[in-house]
Chain A
């Protein structure tokens, strides 16, 4: 594995890939953001439908961030990091959905 002694004016070939990753990530995130804002701005979705569509767009954008900015993928060498994210996601789901369910249920019974 050579150690690069790159000059500071011309970036060597390798960073191009990494730079490309960031550019792809930025573009995808921008597109998803514009779609989400556009749908709401133009009043094309509302209510539960909005929740579902916006939720999916957000989830995709989060995956884009993880993949292109944080370089999380299915690679074996950093399986621990992926496992940690998945376990955390499980806990996050339990906390958010559990809380929403419980508080909504209580609220309904108070009506």
Chain B
């Protein structure tokens, strides 16, 4: 038996759902392209941050003064785990006839994602209260809040999308349309974790180690 040929990034439905698999190629490729343009957006934010975290501190606090590595570590674990649980959600969608398994894994992912956002918001709160580190304080802080904030907004949008899709799974079932949407959300979610790798490395870790 030949190994299935994957046609697009992420989990392919070739083995369990031929019809969806054929439609997936075009739709997922389009979403993949969208993700690339989103990466360019993040690149511009990263580049701006790189310059401003050294040149734009002005009278405000420096990176090492405001970053909490412990919190960043927890956020990293939460998001990484959520990427893992989403993978299992997709496998449940691919192989299991029970919607419950899929919804359960989706639910865990959403909770982990929400915890991530909550931790980030808490970080912001602590920075503002303890260090008077508002986005309006300096160029460095403007860039920091925009970069991490954009990422958090993307994660939040992903959670909202997860809720909508969960409703669709419950009302429309896992028809091809819904499956293709879940596949795209999966790509979105994994890509956000990749962006986070960049953030925790170059913002938090390098901010403290520089």
Contact = CB atoms under 8 A, between A and B. Distances in A.
Query: Do A and B touch each other in the complex, judged by CB within 8 A?
Result: yes
Interface stretch (B84-92, B115-123, B125-133): B84-92
Contacts of A18: 11, 91, 94
B51 A81 contact: no
What does DSSP make chain A's interface, helix, strand, loop or mixed? helix
A88 B9 CA distance: 15
Contact of A65 (B16, B83, B200): B83
A103 B51 contact: yes
A70 B10 contact: yes
A43 to B, nearest CB: 8
Interface string B1-28: 1001111111110111110000000000
Interface residues of B, number: 62
B5 A8 contact: no
Nearest to A77: B5
Contacts, number: 164
A25 B84 contact: yes
A43 B208 CA distance: 9
Nearest to A19: B91
Interface of A: 1, 3-8, 11-12, 14-15, 18-19, 22-23, 25-26, 29-30, 33, 36-37, 39-41, 43, 45-47, 50-51, 54-55, 57-58, 61-62, 65-66, 69-72, 75, 77-78, 80-81, 84-85, 88, 91-92, 95-96, 98-100, 103-104, 107
18 contacts: A3-B15, A6-B95, A8-B97, A11-B96, A14-B15, A26-B84, A33-B80, A37-B205, A51-B210, A54-B201, A54-B205, A55-B201, A62-B194, A65-B197, A66-B194, A70-B190, A95-B43, A100-B51
